[in-house]
Amino acid sequence: EVQLVESGGGWVHTGGSLRLSCVTSGVTFDHYTIGWFRQAPGKEREGVSCMRSSDGTTYTPDSVKGRFTISSDTLKTTLYLQMNGLKPEDTAVYYCAVDQGRVDPSVPCRYGMDYWGKGTLVNVTS
């Protein structure tokens, strides 16, 4: 059973930084994409950074490029999202997700994944 548990959310002032973590278990696929999504109140879910497991290829949309960085530990059991230069519009629930298969990471990052964590709330105050 795939389990994804996010942590690291909280309150931060504009311009501040946070690092989110996602501890994974049960991810036994030969190929998969893992990533971070967010959903703000009244808005659609948005993929903010994704990584292909086989070679570490990443995808980050222009909306957060240069501010958000995805990484994982060497055992690939914990995924991180380093967020710098946070803005009030980054306020959202952030989710970790996994999608089975070997594709360009931008595809599941744009269209969604198979398995989801329960999310962690990030609040950026001005």
Which residues in 26-91 belong to E strands, given as ranges?
32-39, 46-52, 58-59, 68-72, 78-83
For 54-63, what is each residue's pLDDT tens digit? 999 999 999 9
pLDDT of residue 60: 96
**Position of tokens 């931008």?**
106
For 70-122, what is each residue's pLDDT tens digit? 999 888 899 999 999 999 999 999 999 999 988 899 999 989 899 999 999 99
For 3-53, what is each residue's pLDDT tens digit? 999 999 999 999 999 999 999 999 999 899 999 999 999 999 999 999 999
pLDDT of residue 102: 86
pLDDT of residue 122: 98
Measure the CA–CA gap between 54 and 50, rounded to whole angstroms: 13
pLDDT of residue 33: 96
Radius of gyration of the chain (CA): 13
Positive or negative torsion for Cα 92, 98, 102, 108: negative
Neighbours of 76 (CB within 10 A): 14
Q: Is 48 helix (H, G, I), strand (E, B) or coil?
A: strand
pLDDT of residue 74: 82
Whether residue 7 contacts residue 119, with contact meaning beta carbons closer than 8 Å, is answered with no
The C-alpha angle 56, 60, 66, rounded to 5 degrees, equals 110
